[in-house]
Structure 1
Amino acid sequence: MNSFLQIAICVLLLSGCSFANSQSMPYKSWYLGFSAPNYMEVWIESADVVDIEEQVYPRAMSGNAAIQTPPNNTGDPRGWPERPGIGKGKNVTGADLPQKIYVRWQSLVEPQTYQMVINVPESTREIMRKEEKVFCAFDGKWITDYRNALVINLAPGGIAKIWVMGSCLPAIEVTRVQAVIDPRGPYEGKSGGKHRPLSAVSKAYVEKFDVPYGSWE
């Protein structure tokens, strides 16, 4: 083997090792999900992600947050869930782990438009990188799982609570954020102050019981 080929192979091997070591997470993508308390409907105008490489992923998620609206006012929106679900969202493909998440949303029961910045600490990313052995009841096997889902629960008053979880690993609460009112109103002031309509079932609940402010502290 000539010296040029030896050098070329060494360079390839070294660059491959360097590339592997530069990977921040042990999976190809992570999931960004949103949910809201029963009847407290939310419309996400935009959720923009900045990863730890300073790359921006605009509108990583938009649309309705996951919610339950049981008939006949039988649901209870008060307080945070003991076992939060994964929410409605998307895989953030091509991004590294999150550094910041910018969210602007409409709280339809109020109605009000909020915006916030979630600063994701390194401690949260460490949880997301950590592999754990867990028995997965879904398929009855022990698996290696990661908490590769970041789930944001949005409540009236602009309160957000954030968890990380895996497909078979329980959720870990990582932070709580108080959003501010967006003075421009819905759609950055482009809708003449009109929010999206509230569904009939949620409207009926709020008219009877009101919004349980104070239960999401």
Structure 2
Amino acid sequence: MSNFIRIALVVFLLSGCTVASSQSMPYKSWDLGFSAPDYMEVWIETADVVDIQEQVYPRAVSGVASMQAPPNNAGDPRGWPKKIAIGGGKRVTGADLPKQIYVRWQSLAEPQTYLMVIKIPETTRELMRKGEKAFCAADGKWITGYRQSIGIRLIPGGIARVWVGGPCMTSIEVTTVKAVIDPRGPYEGKSGGHYRPLSAVSKAYVEKFGVPYGSW
């Protein structure tokens, strides 16, 4: 079965939405965030969540991924950051811990439309449930912290790297996923192939230096 057919089956599963009645985690909700390298703008059409109780949360996140765009081409999009931020996103309220996350996004620097399914294994959920003593430098206090956030960094070429982290906690990389190109194009083919435009700062960088494929 091809990757596209598998993803199509997931899309079918994500056609409804119900609310979970109980939760297996030691906190009320978890966060889902997205980021992108400098100037490599990303528009998330949808990020849909299926939790471990098989409940579906369509469009748990949509919109722009967090990104830096320093003026005068002073930024550097190449490579993976040594310290990862969870990125901009939302709290997935009412959901239990995730089983899989379906993402369809526009990589605007290329431009290209990608889709993927990120399968979250039990080992990752165990990391999210585990409380650890952590020192918060901001207020000088020790806390019992949880990695209650999932951060996904989206890269040109359809690469996504996933971390879990939390306040005062060191983020842990859990997986890297290669997406497939959505042959329908942006907005499921409903925009006539037209993408959202790059900002002026990002456009200037890409026109001068291109997209640094091979650095990720």
The equivalent of 1:13 in structure 2 is none
| Equivalent residue number for residue 190 of structure 1 | 190
5+ long unaligned stretches in structure 1: 1-21
The number of equivalent residue pairs is: 195
Instruction: Give, as a single letter, the amino acid of the residue that structure 2 aligns with 1:54.
Output: E
Residues in 1 aligned to 2:98 and 2:86: alpha-carbon distance in whole angstroms:
17
The answer on whether the counterparts of 2:23 and 2:95 sit within 8 Å (CA) in structure 1 is: no
Q: CA deviation at 1:55?
A: 0.1
* Residue of structure 1 in register with 2:147 after alignment: 147
- Equivalent in the alignment of 2:204: 204
TM-score by length of 1: 0.89
CA deviation after TM superposition for structure 1 residue 45, in Å = 0.1
Match of 1:25 in 2: 25
Which portions of structure 1, spanning 4 or more consecutive aligned residues, are displaced by more than 4 angstroms?
none
- Partner deviation per Cα, 1:50-85 (whole Å, 9 max, x = no partner): 000000000000000000000000100001111111
SS state at 2:153 partner: strand
Structure holding more helix per residue: 1
Question: In structure 2, how many angstroms separate the alpha carbons of the residues matched to 1:55 and 1:138?
Answer: 37
CA displacement at 1:206 relative to structure 2: 0.7
% identical aligned pairs:
76
User: How far apart are the structure 2 equivalents of 1:110 and 1:181?
Assistant: 12
- Which residue is 1:166 aligned to? 166
- The residue that corresponds to 1:5 in the other structure is none
Aligned to 1:91: 91
Which structure would you say has the larger Rg? Answer: 1
SS of residue paired to 1:43: strand
Give the TM-score normalised by the residue count of structure 2: 0.89
| Deviations 1:118-164 (CA, angstroms, capped at 9, x unpaired) | 00000000000000001101211000100000000000000000000
- 1:55 maps to which residue? 55
**Aligned mates of 1:24, 1:67 — CA distance in 2:** 32
Q: How far, CA to CA, are the matches of 1:206 and 1:188 in structure 2?
A: 25
Q: What is the Cα deviation at residue 23 of structure 1?
A: 3.7
**1:107-122 correspondence runs (5 A):** 107-122=107-122
2:34 equivalent in structure 1:
34
| 2:181 alignment partner in structure 1 | 181
Supply the distance in 2 between the matched residues of 1:210 and 1:110 (Cα, whole angstroms): 9
SS of the equivalent of 2:34 reads strand
